A and B are shown apart, each in its own frame.
Chain A
Amino acid sequence: MKNLWSKLATIDRRIIYLLVFIVVALPMIFRMIMPIRVSREVQMAFSEIDNLKPGSIVMISIDYDAASEPELQPMLIAILRHCFSKNIKVILLGHWALGLPLGEMALNQVAKEYNKKYGEDYVNLGYRPGYTALMVGIGKEIRDFFPTDYRGIPIDSFPFMRKVRNYQQIDVLVGLEAGATGDAWVQFAGARFNQKIILGTTGVIAPDMFPYLQAKQIAGLISGLQGAAEYETLLKKAGSAILGMPAQSFVHLLIIIFIIIGNIGYFILRKRR
Protein backbone atom coordinates (compact mmCIF):
# COMPACT_ATOMS: atom_id res chain seq x y z
CA MET A 1 0.00 0.00 0.00
CA LYS A 2 2.75 2.40 0.96
CA ASN A 3 4.31 1.73 -2.37
CA LEU A 4 1.16 2.80 -4.20
CA TRP A 5 0.98 6.13 -2.37
CA SER A 6 4.59 6.93 -3.03
CA LYS A 7 4.03 6.05 -6.66
CA LEU A 8 1.10 8.46 -6.81
CA ALA A 9 3.28 11.16 -5.37
CA THR A 10 6.04 10.57 -7.90
CA ILE A 11 4.45 9.67 -11.21
CA ASP A 12 7.05 9.67 -13.97
CA ARG A 13 6.76 12.79 -16.10
CA ARG A 14 6.61 10.67 -19.26
CA ILE A 15 3.30 9.17 -18.13
CA ILE A 16 1.94 12.69 -17.75
CA TYR A 17 3.19 13.63 -21.21
CA LEU A 18 1.60 10.53 -22.73
CA LEU A 19 -1.75 11.23 -21.10
CA VAL A 20 -1.70 14.87 -22.22
CA PHE A 21 -0.98 13.72 -25.75
CA ILE A 22 -3.79 11.16 -25.69
CA VAL A 23 -6.29 13.57 -24.20
CA VAL A 24 -5.59 16.10 -26.96
CA ALA A 25 -5.32 13.67 -29.86
CA LEU A 26 -8.23 11.29 -29.17
CA PRO A 27 -11.07 13.83 -29.23
CA MET A 28 -9.60 15.13 -32.47
CA ILE A 29 -9.27 11.71 -34.07
CA PHE A 30 -12.81 10.75 -33.08
CA ARG A 31 -14.05 14.19 -34.09
CA MET A 32 -15.69 14.92 -30.81
CA ILE A 33 -17.53 18.20 -30.99
CA MET A 34 -18.94 20.26 -28.15
CA PRO A 35 -21.79 22.68 -28.85
CA ILE A 36 -20.58 26.23 -29.44
CA ARG A 37 -22.67 29.37 -29.13
CA VAL A 38 -22.24 31.64 -32.13
CA SER A 39 -21.86 35.34 -31.48
CA ARG A 40 -23.55 38.02 -33.54
CA GLU A 41 -20.38 39.45 -35.05
CA VAL A 42 -19.19 36.08 -36.36
CA GLN A 43 -22.69 35.40 -37.72
CA MET A 44 -22.49 38.74 -39.56
CA ALA A 45 -19.14 37.84 -41.07
CA PHE A 46 -20.37 34.43 -42.12
CA SER A 47 -23.57 35.76 -43.72
CA GLU A 48 -21.62 38.35 -45.68
CA ILE A 49 -19.68 35.63 -47.51
CA ASP A 50 -22.59 33.21 -47.52
CA ASN A 51 -24.76 35.69 -49.42
CA LEU A 52 -22.26 36.14 -52.24
CA LYS A 53 -23.09 34.71 -55.66
CA PRO A 54 -20.82 32.12 -57.24
CA GLY A 55 -18.06 33.84 -59.16
CA SER A 56 -17.85 36.74 -56.70
CA ILE A 57 -14.39 37.82 -55.63
CA VAL A 58 -13.02 37.82 -52.07
CA MET A 59 -9.64 39.31 -51.24
CA ILE A 60 -7.89 37.90 -48.17
CA SER A 61 -4.99 39.70 -46.51
CA ILE A 62 -2.56 37.68 -44.39
CA ASP A 63 -1.43 40.21 -41.81
CA TYR A 64 0.09 37.90 -39.21
CA ASP A 65 3.02 35.55 -38.82
CA ALA A 66 3.87 32.29 -37.13
CA ALA A 67 3.40 33.71 -33.62
CA SER A 68 -0.34 34.19 -34.18
CA GLU A 69 -0.75 31.07 -36.29
CA PRO A 70 -2.73 29.02 -33.73
CA GLU A 71 -5.44 31.69 -33.61
CA LEU A 72 -5.60 33.01 -37.16
CA GLN A 73 -4.72 30.04 -39.36
CA PRO A 74 -7.97 28.15 -38.49
CA MET A 75 -9.91 31.27 -39.54
CA LEU A 76 -8.10 31.44 -42.84
CA ILE A 77 -8.78 27.78 -43.54
CA ALA A 78 -12.45 28.06 -42.60
CA ILE A 79 -12.95 31.14 -44.79
CA LEU A 80 -11.14 29.54 -47.73
CA ARG A 81 -13.33 26.45 -47.38
CA HIS A 82 -16.39 28.65 -47.28
CA CYS A 83 -15.36 30.52 -50.42
CA PHE A 84 -14.32 27.47 -52.40
CA SER A 85 -17.45 25.54 -51.47
CA LYS A 86 -19.51 28.38 -52.91
CA ASN A 87 -17.32 28.77 -55.99
CA ILE A 88 -16.13 32.20 -54.93
CA LYS A 89 -12.80 33.36 -56.36
CA VAL A 90 -10.06 34.22 -53.91
CA ILE A 91 -7.21 36.73 -54.15
CA LEU A 92 -4.59 36.36 -51.43
CA LEU A 93 -2.03 38.97 -50.43
CA GLY A 94 -0.32 40.06 -47.24
CA HIS A 95 1.61 42.75 -45.44
CA TRP A 96 3.80 40.58 -43.23
CA ALA A 97 6.61 39.06 -45.24
CA LEU A 98 7.00 36.17 -42.83
CA GLY A 99 3.28 35.39 -42.76
CA LEU A 100 2.73 34.66 -46.43
CA PRO A 101 4.06 31.12 -46.31
CA LEU A 102 1.20 30.37 -43.92
CA GLY A 103 -1.27 31.70 -46.47
CA GLU A 104 0.28 29.64 -49.23
CA MET A 105 0.13 26.49 -47.08
CA ALA A 106 -3.55 27.01 -46.34
CA LEU A 107 -4.32 27.71 -50.00
CA ASN A 108 -2.59 24.54 -51.15
CA GLN A 109 -4.39 22.48 -48.56
CA VAL A 110 -7.92 23.79 -49.12
CA ALA A 111 -7.60 24.02 -52.90
CA LYS A 112 -6.78 20.32 -52.97
CA GLU A 113 -9.86 19.52 -50.87
CA TYR A 114 -12.16 21.32 -53.31
CA ASN A 115 -10.28 20.59 -56.52
CA LYS A 116 -9.63 24.25 -57.20
CA LYS A 117 -7.01 25.35 -59.72
CA TYR A 118 -4.47 28.11 -59.33
CA GLY A 119 -5.22 30.98 -61.68
CA GLU A 120 -8.78 29.84 -62.33
CA ASP A 121 -10.19 29.91 -58.82
CA TYR A 122 -7.56 31.71 -56.80
CA VAL A 123 -4.32 33.66 -57.04
CA ASN A 124 -1.65 34.58 -54.54
CA LEU A 125 -0.24 38.05 -55.11
CA GLY A 126 2.32 37.87 -52.32
CA TYR A 127 3.94 40.62 -50.29
CA ARG A 128 4.86 44.19 -51.17
CA PRO A 129 6.40 46.56 -48.62
CA GLY A 130 4.65 49.78 -47.60
CA TYR A 131 1.07 48.96 -46.72
CA THR A 132 -0.48 52.45 -46.66
CA ALA A 133 0.48 53.25 -50.23
CA LEU A 134 -0.64 49.82 -51.32
CA MET A 135 -4.05 50.04 -49.68
CA VAL A 136 -4.73 53.44 -51.22
CA GLY A 137 -3.22 52.39 -54.52
CA ILE A 138 -5.46 49.36 -54.96
CA GLY A 139 -8.36 51.81 -54.90
CA LYS A 140 -7.14 53.14 -58.21
CA GLU A 141 -5.54 50.23 -60.01
CA ILE A 142 -4.33 46.95 -58.56
CA ARG A 143 -1.81 46.51 -61.38
CA ASP A 144 0.20 49.50 -60.15
CA PHE A 145 1.29 47.31 -57.26
CA PHE A 146 0.72 43.78 -58.42
CA PRO A 147 1.39 43.56 -62.15
CA THR A 148 2.32 39.94 -61.48
CA ASP A 149 1.54 37.32 -58.86
CA TYR A 150 4.16 36.16 -56.36
CA ARG A 151 5.81 33.94 -58.95
CA GLY A 152 6.15 36.73 -61.48
CA ILE A 153 3.29 35.60 -63.76
CA PRO A 154 1.33 38.60 -65.12
CA ILE A 155 -2.05 38.70 -63.41
CA ASP A 156 -3.76 39.35 -66.74
CA SER A 157 -2.96 35.82 -67.77
CA PHE A 158 -5.50 34.62 -65.20
CA PRO A 159 -9.03 34.88 -66.67
CA PHE A 160 -10.87 36.10 -63.59
CA MET A 161 -8.21 38.65 -62.72
CA ARG A 162 -8.60 40.46 -66.04
CA LYS A 163 -11.75 42.20 -64.90
CA VAL A 164 -10.35 43.13 -61.46
CA ARG A 165 -9.12 46.70 -61.55
CA ASN A 166 -9.71 48.04 -58.04
CA TYR A 167 -11.89 47.66 -54.97
CA GLN A 168 -15.04 48.01 -57.07
CA GLN A 169 -14.65 44.49 -58.38
CA ILE A 170 -13.82 43.01 -54.98
CA ASP A 171 -16.98 41.99 -53.17
CA VAL A 172 -15.55 41.39 -49.72
CA LEU A 173 -12.14 42.08 -48.22
CA VAL A 174 -11.11 39.78 -45.38
CA GLY A 175 -8.28 41.07 -43.19
CA LEU A 176 -6.68 38.54 -40.83
CA GLU A 177 -4.93 40.80 -38.39
CA ALA A 178 -2.39 40.52 -35.62
CA GLY A 179 -1.33 44.18 -35.56
CA ALA A 180 -2.03 47.69 -36.80
CA THR A 181 -2.80 46.82 -40.42
CA GLY A 182 -6.44 46.14 -39.52
CA ASP A 183 -6.97 49.82 -38.69
CA ALA A 184 -5.27 50.76 -41.93
CA TRP A 185 -7.59 48.58 -44.03
CA VAL A 186 -10.58 50.27 -42.39
CA GLN A 187 -9.13 53.75 -42.89
CA PHE A 188 -7.94 53.42 -46.42
CA ALA A 189 -9.94 50.70 -48.17
CA GLY A 190 -13.08 51.09 -46.09
CA ALA A 191 -13.52 54.81 -45.54
CA ARG A 192 -12.13 56.05 -48.83
CA PHE A 193 -13.39 53.43 -51.23
CA ASN A 194 -16.38 52.00 -49.39
CA GLN A 195 -14.90 48.52 -49.52
CA LYS A 196 -16.87 45.97 -47.53
CA ILE A 197 -14.51 44.54 -44.91
CA ILE A 198 -14.54 41.58 -42.54
CA LEU A 199 -11.81 41.35 -39.93
CA GLY A 200 -10.48 38.27 -38.21
CA THR A 201 -8.18 39.16 -35.33
CA THR A 202 -6.22 37.70 -32.44
CA GLY A 203 -7.95 37.79 -29.09
CA VAL A 204 -5.62 40.53 -27.92
CA ILE A 205 -6.50 43.19 -30.50
CA ALA A 206 -10.19 42.29 -30.95
CA PRO A 207 -11.41 44.87 -28.36
CA ASP A 208 -9.81 47.64 -30.45
CA MET A 209 -11.79 46.53 -33.48
CA PHE A 210 -15.25 46.57 -31.90
CA PRO A 211 -15.76 50.33 -32.44
CA TYR A 212 -15.43 49.73 -36.17
CA LEU A 213 -18.16 47.13 -35.97
CA GLN A 214 -20.44 49.51 -34.08
CA ALA A 215 -19.76 52.25 -36.61
CA LYS A 216 -20.57 49.79 -39.39
CA GLN A 217 -17.11 50.33 -40.80
CA ILE A 218 -16.67 46.59 -40.89
CA ALA A 219 -19.28 44.00 -41.73
CA GLY A 220 -18.18 41.31 -39.30
CA LEU A 221 -15.56 40.40 -36.74
CA ILE A 222 -14.05 37.02 -35.88
CA SER A 223 -11.89 37.05 -32.76
CA GLY A 224 -9.47 34.48 -31.45
CA LEU A 225 -9.70 30.70 -31.47
CA GLN A 226 -13.23 30.93 -30.11
CA GLY A 227 -14.26 33.03 -33.13
CA ALA A 228 -12.66 30.53 -35.48
CA ALA A 229 -14.57 27.71 -33.79
CA GLU A 230 -17.81 29.66 -34.19
CA TYR A 231 -17.14 30.17 -37.89
CA GLU A 232 -16.44 26.46 -38.31
CA THR A 233 -19.71 25.72 -36.51
CA LEU A 234 -21.64 27.89 -38.96
CA LEU A 235 -19.81 26.31 -41.86
CA LYS A 236 -20.74 22.87 -40.51
CA LYS A 237 -17.23 21.74 -41.32
CA ALA A 238 -14.95 20.84 -38.46
CA GLY A 239 -11.45 22.31 -38.48
CA SER A 240 -8.69 22.58 -35.93
CA ALA A 241 -10.51 25.18 -33.82
CA ILE A 242 -13.71 23.25 -33.25
CA LEU A 243 -11.90 19.93 -32.96
CA GLY A 244 -9.55 21.44 -30.43
CA MET A 245 -12.17 22.92 -28.12
CA PRO A 246 -13.05 19.66 -26.29
CA ALA A 247 -9.34 18.94 -25.82
CA GLN A 248 -9.06 22.22 -23.90
CA SER A 249 -11.60 21.08 -21.32
CA PHE A 250 -10.10 17.62 -21.00
CA VAL A 251 -6.52 18.75 -20.54
CA HIS A 252 -7.59 21.26 -17.90
CA LEU A 253 -9.42 18.49 -16.11
CA LEU A 254 -6.49 16.11 -16.50
CA ILE A 255 -4.09 18.59 -14.94
CA ILE A 256 -6.45 19.16 -12.02
CA ILE A 257 -6.79 15.40 -11.50
CA PHE A 258 -3.00 15.11 -11.49
CA ILE A 259 -2.73 17.86 -8.91
CA ILE A 260 -5.28 16.06 -6.71
CA ILE A 261 -3.57 12.66 -7.08
CA GLY A 262 -0.21 14.19 -6.30
CA ASN A 263 -1.55 15.81 -3.16
CA ILE A 264 -3.31 12.66 -1.95
CA GLY A 265 -0.08 10.71 -2.34
CA TYR A 266 1.87 13.44 -0.64
CA PHE A 267 -0.46 13.72 2.36
CA ILE A 268 -0.75 10.02 3.05
CA LEU A 269 3.00 9.61 2.81
CA ARG A 270 3.53 12.50 5.20
CA LYS A 271 1.08 11.09 7.74
CA ARG A 272 2.84 7.75 7.67
CA ARG A 273 6.13 9.42 8.33
Chain B
Amino acid sequence: MIRTQLPLIITFFTGMLLIVTFFIPHKPFGDLEQRFLIWYSIISGFTVLLGLDSLVKYHLTKLKKEFNIHSFILLFSLFLTLILGFYSWFKFKTPFALNSPFMYLYTYVIIPLQATMFALLAFFIASAAYRAFRARTFEATLLLIAATIVMLGRVPIGSYIWKGIASFISTIFPKIPYEELAKKEIFALISDWIMNIPQNAAKRGIFIGTALGGIAMSIRIILGIERTYITK
Protein backbone atom coordinates (compact mmCIF):
# COMPACT_ATOMS: atom_id res chain seq x y z
CA MET B 1 0.00 0.00 0.00
CA ILE B 2 2.62 2.52 1.10
CA ARG B 3 4.76 1.40 -1.83
CA THR B 4 2.24 2.52 -4.43
CA GLN B 5 0.33 5.24 -2.60
CA LEU B 6 3.23 7.22 -1.13
CA PRO B 7 4.86 7.97 -4.52
CA LEU B 8 1.51 9.13 -5.90
CA ILE B 9 1.00 11.41 -2.92
CA ILE B 10 4.48 12.87 -3.31
CA THR B 11 3.96 13.52 -7.01
CA PHE B 12 0.60 15.16 -6.34
CA PHE B 13 1.98 17.35 -3.58
CA THR B 14 5.11 18.43 -5.48
CA GLY B 15 3.22 19.16 -8.68
CA MET B 16 0.45 21.15 -7.01
CA LEU B 17 2.93 23.08 -4.88
CA LEU B 18 4.84 24.19 -7.97
CA ILE B 19 1.64 25.27 -9.73
CA VAL B 20 0.29 27.24 -6.76
CA THR B 21 3.58 28.92 -5.87
CA PHE B 22 4.05 29.99 -9.47
CA PHE B 23 1.70 32.86 -8.58
CA ILE B 24 3.24 33.75 -5.20
CA PRO B 25 6.36 35.89 -5.31
CA HIS B 26 6.69 36.18 -1.51
CA LYS B 27 9.33 34.19 0.33
CA PRO B 28 9.71 31.25 0.72
CA PHE B 29 7.54 30.47 -2.33
CA GLY B 30 8.98 32.89 -4.88
CA ASP B 31 12.14 30.94 -5.51
CA LEU B 32 10.65 27.49 -4.95
CA GLU B 33 10.78 26.59 -8.64
CA GLN B 34 14.46 27.51 -8.78
CA ARG B 35 15.11 25.66 -5.55
CA PHE B 36 13.41 22.48 -6.74
CA LEU B 37 15.39 22.54 -9.96
CA ILE B 38 18.60 22.81 -7.94
CA TRP B 39 17.41 19.89 -5.84
CA TYR B 40 16.79 17.96 -9.02
CA SER B 41 20.36 18.70 -10.12
CA ILE B 42 21.65 17.43 -6.79
CA ILE B 43 19.55 14.26 -7.01
CA SER B 44 20.77 13.59 -10.53
CA GLY B 45 24.30 14.11 -9.25
CA PHE B 46 23.76 11.02 -7.11
CA THR B 47 22.08 9.04 -9.86
CA VAL B 48 25.22 9.41 -11.95
CA LEU B 49 26.45 6.61 -9.70
CA LEU B 50 23.52 4.44 -10.81
CA GLY B 51 24.46 5.03 -14.43
CA LEU B 52 28.09 4.29 -13.77
CA ASP B 53 27.14 1.11 -11.94
CA SER B 54 24.92 -0.01 -14.82
CA LEU B 55 27.58 0.60 -17.46
CA VAL B 56 30.37 -1.07 -15.49
CA LYS B 57 28.24 -4.05 -14.46
CA TYR B 58 27.13 -4.64 -18.05
CA HIS B 59 30.65 -4.73 -19.43
CA LEU B 60 32.08 -6.67 -16.49
CA THR B 61 29.51 -9.44 -17.01
CA LYS B 62 30.44 -9.48 -20.68
CA LEU B 63 34.11 -9.70 -19.80
CA LYS B 64 33.51 -12.48 -17.30
CA LYS B 65 31.74 -14.56 -19.93
CA GLU B 66 34.58 -14.19 -22.37
CA PHE B 67 37.31 -11.61 -22.83
CA ASN B 68 36.55 -9.03 -25.48
CA ILE B 69 38.79 -6.10 -26.23
CA HIS B 70 36.01 -3.56 -26.65
CA SER B 71 34.47 -3.95 -23.22
CA PHE B 72 37.95 -3.81 -21.81
CA ILE B 73 38.76 -0.61 -23.73
CA LEU B 74 35.51 0.98 -22.59
CA LEU B 75 36.14 0.21 -18.93
CA PHE B 76 39.76 1.23 -19.27
CA SER B 77 38.92 4.62 -20.79
CA LEU B 78 36.16 5.14 -18.23
CA PHE B 79 38.43 4.56 -15.26
CA LEU B 80 41.35 6.39 -16.83
CA THR B 81 39.12 9.44 -17.26
CA LEU B 82 37.89 9.20 -13.67
CA ILE B 83 41.42 8.83 -12.30
CA LEU B 84 42.76 11.71 -14.38
CA GLY B 85 39.74 13.78 -13.40
CA PHE B 86 40.15 13.32 -9.67
CA TYR B 87 43.92 13.63 -9.93
CA SER B 88 43.57 16.94 -11.81
CA TRP B 89 40.93 18.11 -9.37
CA PHE B 90 43.23 17.37 -6.47
CA LYS B 91 46.37 18.79 -8.02
CA PHE B 92 45.02 21.89 -9.80
CA LYS B 93 42.04 22.50 -7.47
CA THR B 94 39.72 22.24 -10.49
CA PRO B 95 39.61 19.40 -13.01
CA PHE B 96 39.17 21.99 -15.74
CA ALA B 97 42.59 23.63 -15.41
CA LEU B 98 43.87 23.99 -18.95
CA ASN B 99 47.16 22.19 -18.42
CA SER B 100 45.67 19.31 -16.46
CA PRO B 101 45.75 15.81 -17.95
CA PHE B 102 41.97 15.71 -17.68
CA MET B 103 41.64 18.70 -20.00
CA TYR B 104 44.16 17.12 -22.35
CA LEU B 105 41.86 14.15 -22.65
CA TYR B 106 38.93 16.49 -23.23
CA THR B 107 40.78 18.46 -25.90
CA TYR B 108 42.17 15.63 -27.94
CA VAL B 109 39.61 12.88 -27.40
CA ILE B 110 36.18 14.26 -26.53
CA ILE B 111 36.16 17.40 -28.70
CA PRO B 112 37.16 15.61 -31.95
CA LEU B 113 34.82 12.71 -31.27
CA GLN B 114 31.92 15.05 -30.53
CA ALA B 115 32.60 17.23 -33.55
CA THR B 116 32.98 14.27 -35.91
CA MET B 117 29.83 12.50 -34.77
CA PHE B 118 28.00 15.82 -35.20
CA ALA B 119 29.54 16.25 -38.66
CA LEU B 120 28.14 12.88 -39.78
CA LEU B 121 24.88 14.79 -40.09
CA ALA B 122 26.15 16.48 -43.25
CA PHE B 123 26.18 13.06 -44.93
CA PHE B 124 22.98 11.78 -43.37
CA ILE B 125 21.01 14.90 -44.27
CA ALA B 126 21.99 14.31 -47.93
CA SER B 127 21.09 10.62 -47.96
CA ALA B 128 17.81 11.22 -46.12
CA ALA B 129 16.85 13.96 -48.59
CA TYR B 130 17.61 11.76 -51.57
CA ARG B 131 15.64 8.82 -50.24
CA ALA B 132 12.67 10.53 -48.65
CA PHE B 133 11.99 13.42 -50.98
CA ARG B 134 10.05 11.52 -53.61
CA ALA B 135 6.88 12.92 -55.09
CA ARG B 136 4.85 9.89 -54.01
CA THR B 137 1.86 11.84 -52.78
CA PHE B 138 0.70 15.41 -52.94
CA GLU B 139 1.91 16.07 -49.39
CA ALA B 140 5.32 14.54 -50.09
CA THR B 141 5.63 16.72 -53.19
CA LEU B 142 5.00 19.85 -51.12
CA LEU B 143 7.63 18.70 -48.64
CA LEU B 144 10.26 18.31 -51.30
CA ILE B 145 9.44 21.54 -53.13
CA ALA B 146 9.57 23.56 -49.91
CA ALA B 147 12.89 21.96 -48.99
CA THR B 148 14.40 22.62 -52.41
CA ILE B 149 13.36 26.26 -52.54
CA VAL B 150 14.62 27.00 -49.05
CA MET B 151 17.91 25.26 -49.84
CA LEU B 152 18.34 27.42 -52.94
CA GLY B 153 17.38 30.53 -51.04
CA ARG B 154 20.12 30.04 -48.48
CA VAL B 155 23.24 29.95 -50.69
CA PRO B 156 24.74 32.21 -53.40
CA ILE B 157 24.27 29.52 -56.04
CA GLY B 158 20.53 30.08 -55.76
CA SER B 159 20.91 33.58 -57.18
CA TYR B 160 23.10 32.30 -60.03
CA ILE B 161 20.41 29.80 -60.95
CA TRP B 162 17.79 32.53 -60.81
CA LYS B 163 19.88 34.71 -63.13
CA GLY B 164 19.89 31.81 -65.60
CA ILE B 165 16.14 31.46 -65.35
CA ALA B 166 15.72 35.23 -65.73
CA SER B 167 17.72 35.35 -68.94
CA PHE B 168 15.66 32.46 -70.25
CA ILE B 169 12.42 34.27 -69.45
CA SER B 170 13.59 37.52 -71.04
CA THR B 171 14.58 35.73 -74.24
CA ILE B 172 11.14 34.24 -74.57
CA PHE B 173 9.35 37.41 -73.46
CA PRO B 174 11.57 40.25 -74.71
CA LYS B 175 9.26 42.77 -73.09
CA ILE B 176 10.48 41.74 -69.65
CA PRO B 177 13.85 43.39 -69.05
CA TYR B 178 16.52 40.95 -67.87
CA GLU B 179 18.27 43.37 -65.54
CA GLU B 180 15.28 44.00 -63.33
CA LEU B 181 14.26 40.39 -63.24
CA ALA B 182 17.74 39.16 -62.36
CA LYS B 183 18.00 41.62 -59.49
CA LYS B 184 15.12 39.99 -57.64
CA GLU B 185 16.55 37.21 -55.49
CA ILE B 186 13.46 35.12 -56.11
CA PHE B 187 14.59 31.99 -54.23
CA ALA B 188 15.63 33.96 -51.16
CA LEU B 189 12.34 35.88 -51.25
CA ILE B 190 10.17 32.79 -51.54
CA SER B 191 12.19 30.93 -48.96
CA ASP B 192 11.81 33.80 -46.49
CA TRP B 193 8.09 33.83 -47.17
CA ILE B 194 7.77 30.08 -46.62
CA MET B 195 9.68 30.34 -43.35
CA ASN B 196 7.58 33.29 -42.16
CA ILE B 197 4.08 32.30 -43.19
CA PRO B 198 3.28 28.62 -43.78
CA GLN B 199 6.19 27.31 -41.69
CA ASN B 200 5.34 29.65 -38.86
CA ALA B 201 1.64 28.81 -39.01
CA ALA B 202 2.14 25.06 -38.83
CA LYS B 203 4.74 25.42 -36.09
CA ARG B 204 2.33 27.50 -34.03
CA GLY B 205 -0.45 24.97 -34.51
CA ILE B 206 1.86 22.16 -33.42
CA PHE B 207 3.07 24.21 -30.43
CA ILE B 208 -0.49 24.89 -29.28
CA GLY B 209 -1.43 21.22 -29.63
CA THR B 210 1.72 20.03 -27.89
CA ALA B 211 1.23 22.50 -25.05
CA LEU B 212 -2.35 21.29 -24.50
CA GLY B 213 -1.27 17.66 -24.68
CA GLY B 214 1.58 18.30 -22.26
CA ILE B 215 -0.71 20.10 -19.82
CA ALA B 216 -3.25 17.25 -19.97
CA MET B 217 -0.43 14.75 -19.41
CA SER B 218 0.89 16.77 -16.45
CA ILE B 219 -2.56 16.95 -14.89
CA ARG B 220 -3.00 13.20 -15.37
CA ILE B 221 0.36 12.62 -13.69
CA ILE B 222 -0.48 14.93 -10.79
CA LEU B 223 -3.87 13.28 -10.27
CA GLY B 224 -2.27 9.85 -10.38
CA ILE B 225 -4.20 8.69 -13.44
CA GLU B 226 -1.02 8.30 -15.48
CA ARG B 227 1.12 5.98 -13.38
CA THR B 228 3.14 3.76 -15.69
CA TYR B 229 6.27 4.58 -13.73
CA ILE B 230 4.91 3.19 -10.50
CA THR B 231 4.70 -0.56 -10.35
CA LYS B 232 3.27 -2.84 -7.72
Contact = CB atoms under 8 A, between A and B. Distances in A.
Q: Do A and B interact directly, with beta carbons closer than 8 Å? A: yes
Interface of A: 11, 13, 16-17, 20-21, 24, 34, 66, 69, 97-98, 100-102, 104-105, 124, 126-127, 150-151, 248-256, 258-259, 261-263, 266-267
A262 B130 contact: yes
Interface of B: 94, 96-99, 103, 106-107, 111, 114-115, 122-123, 125-127, 129-131, 133-136, 144, 147-148, 151-152, 154-158
Given A126-B98, A248-B155, A249-B156, A258 B115 contact: no
Contacts of B97: 126-127, 150
A258 B155 CA distance: 17
Given A21-B123, A251-B122, 15 more contacts: A16-B130, A17-B127, A20-B123, A34-B156, A97-B94, A101-B98, A104-B98, A105-B107, A249-B157, A250-B157, A255-B151, A259-B144, A261-B130, A262-B130, A266-B136
Contacts of B151: 252, 255-256
Contacts of B136: 266
Nearest to A34: B156
Contact of B127 (A16, A21, A24, A101): A16
Q: Secondary structure at chain B's binding surface: helix, strand, loop or mixed?
A: helix
A206 to B, nearest CB: 17
Contacts of A124: 98
Contacts of B127: 13, 16-17
A259 B99 CA distance: 48
Contacts, number: 93
A259 B148 contact: yes
B130 A11 contact: yes
A61 B37 CA distance: 30
Contacts of A254: 126
Nearest to A262: B130
A267 to B, nearest CB: 7
B155 A101 contact: no
Nearest to B112: A66
A261 B129 CA distance: 12
A249 B99 CA distance: 40
A69 B115 contact: yes
A127 B96 contact: yes
B98 A100 contact: yes
B114 A66 contact: yes
B107 A258 contact: no
Which among A21, A263, A266 has the highest number of chain B CB atoms within 10 Å?
A: A263
B122 A24 contact: yes
A73 to B, nearest CB: 10
Given A66-B114, A101-B111, A104-B107, A150 B154 contact: no
Contacts of A252: 151-152, 154-155, 157-158
B130 A256 contact: no
8 A-B pairs with the lowest CB-CB distances in the bound complex, closest first: A101-B107, A249-B157, A97-B96, A258-B130, A13-B127, A150-B98, A249-B155, A17-B123
B117 to A, nearest CB: 12
B98 A258 contact: no
Given A255-B129, A258-B130, A262-B131, A101 B123 contact: no
A126 B158 CA distance: 44
A98 B99 contact: no
9 contacts: A13-B131, A97-B94, A100-B96, A105-B107, A126-B97, A248-B155, A255-B126, A256-B151, A262-B130
A168 B131 CA distance: 60
A267 B135 contact: yes
A262 B134 contact: yes
A98 B126 contact: no
A263 B145 CA distance: 12
B155 A255 contact: no
A11 B122 CA distance: 17
A59 B24 CA distance: 45
A213 B148 CA distance: 36
Contacts of B111: 66, 69, 101-102
A253 B154 CA distance: 11
A268 B98 CA distance: 60
A249 B151 CA distance: 9
Nearest to A260: B148
Contact of B126 (A20, A101, A105): A20
Which among B111, B127, B136 has the highest number of chain A CB atoms within 10 Å?
A: B127
A104 B97 CA distance: 12
Contacts of B103: 100-101
